Structure 1
Amino acid sequence: MSSIQIPRRRFLALGAAGFGASLLAGCDRLSESPEVGEFLSSAEGLTYRAQRLLGGSHSLAREYAEADLSPVFKVNGTHMPEGDDYAELVESNFARWRLRIDGLVANPLDLSLQDLRNLPQRTQITRHDCVEGWSAIGKWQGVPLSIVLKRASPLPEARFAVFHCADMYEHALDGTGQYYESIDLIDAFHPQTILAHRLNDGPLSVGHGAPLRLRVERQLGYKQAKYVMRVELAASLEGFGRGKGGFWPDRGYEWYAGI
């Protein structure tokens, strides 16, 4: 197991110099490093295969007690998406917000926040591990993604769930600045993968991704997409962003960030 962790430790060491006042600039500099690209491409497949082999599709991330909750759960990345559309959603307390489930499904869905609250819920206390080196334990509540996807009836050719988010990074001059993330359907149907709308017994704050964020507990923090607006099932990750499966994977991070 130690051999699986070495590439990630090396990544953190390389990243320490690149992360400064600007997280975005730091990540972009790392993604341009040939050394980073070389070990990421070789390590990711090993990590993915090892976790699937050793952990299976239903092994659970560790869950904690309320006494273990961190006194502060750090807001990281985007603190609030820019633009009038999101600001209007906040102003209306997300009354007009809808989650779209589409792509390779037989029954596309448009769900309000109340619709999601009315579905069976899961509460879990888990540790969020950030690639920057910090961790926090939080109590998340939301609807298991599997319940939503089953209602949408995935088609046989669907292999990935792609999460389209409200935040946009305008510095991406190639037109790939819309934030997105993706996971395979093994993780999408995992019991701890939820669409969370509450943190520590309160509604998600804007900084933590209101009204809805992904929690895929067996992966690192950058996979936990905030401000989710749409979930699209797809057979391939080609055609999304730069084709690597997520905003940060497009810029050199591992697509599969299993821990």
Structure 2
Amino acid sequence: MTAARNITRRAAILAGFAGAGALIWNADNLTLNPSFSRVFHAVEDWTRMSQRMLLQPGQLAKEYSVADISPVFKPNGTFNPGGAEYDAHIAQDFVNWRLKIGGLVRHPMSLSIAELRGLPSRTQITRHDCVEGWSAIGMWTGVQLGLLLKAAGLASGARYAVFHCADNLDGEPIKGGEQGPGQYYESIDLVDAFHPQTLIAYNLNGKPLGVPNGAPLRLRVERQLGYKQAKYLQRIEITDSFRNVAGGYGGYWEDRGYEWYAGI
């Protein structure tokens, strides 16, 4: 790739991020107005399409060396879902935790942590970029999501993977200023679901995930921002649409004005 082409590529990506970032920064105000909402989602679509045109679908996010790992991987969002059920799982070292895969699949699955650890794994050292402006580098080990979805067998119409989590952030306003259910969830499309770096991770830096960082399972989708990396995973739902899922925009923060596609 020539230097000129490199510059053009970077400029296109940065332009898309700048426009999308400005909209995210003002999301609380903009998304109250239907006209701004249409602009917001148009910019989001442009960001997604331009990134995928400029990057090969299977191109990897940058991976780092062990020497680059951050001394502390900062947790964010929920530090502990709490509640009697989750506390019992902690006490039992998550031996009874199950990851369920259902929706538009031919073979619904329910897997224990031990069963997930028994499957082929991938380890990658990548950088986590938070929408708040900080980053950290960590070594993640887990099962490739694509492997699980192949085993489950996608049914006709499947378009998205929705990740349902144990943490509840009830009380944050959804679009329009209304109050809504606060159970955390996220989603990605099948392009990202089958990306080789998209993991259902159970280890961070060679050790089982700690509670603040999402024990026992979290999503790693390395080409998107931190709020897409859902923690405390309980269930994966394959669907053709978000319209019947929570606020209908594909994620807890997306229901409150963030971009659904948070590519970096």
What secondary structure, in the 3-state scheme, does the structure 2 residue paired with 1:89 have? helix
1:71/1:50 CA distance change after superposition, 3 Å: same
- Displacement after TM superposition at 1:14 (Å): 7.5
The code of the aligned residue for 2:116 comes to L
1:4/1:42 CA distance change after superposition, 3 Å: farther
Q: 1:8 aligned to 1, 14, 17, which one?
A: 17
Q: 1:183 aligned to 181, 188, 205, which one?
A: 188
- Distance in 2 between the 1:159 and 1:13 partners? 28
- Distance in 2 between the 1:125 and 1:68 partners? 9
Greater CA drift, 166-175 or 247-256? 166-175
- Displacement after TM superposition at 1:3 (Å): 3.9
Q: What's the counterpart of residue 120 of structure 1? A: 120
- Displacement after TM superposition at 1:100 (Å): 0.4
1:33/1:65 CA distance change after superposition, 3 Å: farther
Contact 1:11–1:36 (Cα < 8 Å) also in 2 = no
Q: What's the counterpart of residue 204 of structure 1? A: 209
Deviations 1:4-26 (A, max 9, x none): 3245346656877x9xxxxxxxx
Q: What's the counterpart of residue 132 of structure 2? A: 132
- Distance in 2 between the 1:199 and 1:30 partners? 37
- Distance in 2 between the 1:185 and 1:104 partners? 12
Q: What's the counterpart of residue 58 of structure 2? A: 58
Q: Report sequence identity in percent.
A: 53
1:136/1:37 CA distance change after superposition, 3 Å: farther
The code of the aligned residue for 2:257 comes to G
- Displacement after TM superposition at 1:37 (Å): 4.5
Q: What's the counterpart of residue 21 of structure 1? A: none
The gaps in structure 2 that reach 5 residues or longer are 1-8, 173-177
Q: What's the counterpart of residue 225 of structure 1? A: 230
The code of the aligned residue for 2:50 comes to A
- Distance in 1 between the 2:241 and 2:23 partners? 30
Contact 1:15–1:132 (Cα < 8 Å) also in 2 = no
The code of the aligned residue for 1:82 comes to G
Q: What's the counterpart of residue 93 of structure 1? A: 93
- Displacement after TM superposition at 1:142 (Å): 0.2
Q: What's the counterpart of residue 24 of structure 1? A: none
Greater CA drift, 165-174 or 178-187? 165-174
- Distance in 2 between the 1:12 and 1:36 partners? 14
Q: TM-score, normalised by structure 1?
A: 0.89
Q: What's the counterpart of residue 4 of structure 2? A: none
- Displacement after TM superposition at 1:42 (Å): 2.7
- Distance in 1 between the 2:157 and 2:31 partners? 34
CA RMSD in angstroms comes to: 2.1
Q: TM-score, normalised by structure 2?
A: 0.87
The gaps in structure 1 that reach 5 residues or longer are 19-26
Contact 1:36–1:252 (Cα < 8 Å) also in 2 = no
Contact 1:139–1:201 (Cα < 8 Å) also in 2 = yes
1:164/1:224 CA distance change after superposition, 3 Å: same
